[in-house]
């Protein structure tokens, strides 16, 4: 079904009305809790040792390639970076905590927070190796999406280096729609970066949320912890039902 064209009194096409639009509140330093993951406001003292162990081991240097920062050689330098993160309002940083043992396993943030446009981005994602592929990582992202849409945001963005194949796959798996690339968008670490853009909008979120819930459900995993249905399949099906 095609979206109907709306014309103003001059015969010009215009966007659909957004009646009674009110900018949503900005996200605060709230705890977002789930079964597998908990998002806690980043605390350099409480989370620092866990995050350094999870993210800064020498065998995890490849995890820094597409991040603005370089790998940290020592705990003191990393602590200084965490203190900067904790003071920031935009990006607004959280520690991703394993809900089963209370250990911080990664970082995430809301950024480019635009209440007037109802738009917010997720980024500065850095997962320790133990998080990758785990239900904890997916649930953490789902919790952040849910909170943004509950606040009243209309658009939730994911951006990455266009050459960052794992990040592009993760965005599509989570239910984001690829929107294109901004060429020569930034210079990062002395290299050109083309930026790939992805989004989820509010009318898509209920179907994407249902796909996340179905994937996270225990019934979707066998006795050896292997998924029965992939999240990619579930989100593709969900989005196909929300297309205009």
Q: What is the pLDDT of residues 106-142, one digit of tens each?
A: 999 999 999 999 999 999 999 988 888 899 999 999 9
pLDDT for 244: 64
pLDDT for 70: 85
pLDDT for 146: 98
Tokens, residue 103: 């250990």
User: Which regions in the chain score pLDDT beneath 50?
Assistant: none
What values do phi and psi take at 50, rounded to 5?
Answer: -65, -45
pLDDT for 71: 85
pLDDT for 222: 95
């Amino acid at each position: 079904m095609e979206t109907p064209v709306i014309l103003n009194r001059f015969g010009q096409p215009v966007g659909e009305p957004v009646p009674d639009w009110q900018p949503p509140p900005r996200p605060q330093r709230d705890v977002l809790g789930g079964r597998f993951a908990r998002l806690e406001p980043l605390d350099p003292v409480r989370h620092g040792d866990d995050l350094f162990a999870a993210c800064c081991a020498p065998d995890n240097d490849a995890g820094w390639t597409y991040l603005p920062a370089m790998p940290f050689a020592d705990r003191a330098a990393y602590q200084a970076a965490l203190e900067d993160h904790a003071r920031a309002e935009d990006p607004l940083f959280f520690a991703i905590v394993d809900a089963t043992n209370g250990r911080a396993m990664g970082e995430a943030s809301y950024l480019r927070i635009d209440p007037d446009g109802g738009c917010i981005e997720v980024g500065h994602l850095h997962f320790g190796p133990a998080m990758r592929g785990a239900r904890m990582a997916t649930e953490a992202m789902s919790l952040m999406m849910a909170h943004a849409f509950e606040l009243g945001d209309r658009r939730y963005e994911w951006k990455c280096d266009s050459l960052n194949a794992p990040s592009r796959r993760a965005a599509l798996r989570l239910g984001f729609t690829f929107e294109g690339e901004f060429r020569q968008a930034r210079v990062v670490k002395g290299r050109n970066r083309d930026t790939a853009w992805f989004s989820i909008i509010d009318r898509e979120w209920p179907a994407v949320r249902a796909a996340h819930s179905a994937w996270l459900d225990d019934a979707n995993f066998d006795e050896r912890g292997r998924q029965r249905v992939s999240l990619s399949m579930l989100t593709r099906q969900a989005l196909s039902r929300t297309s205009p």
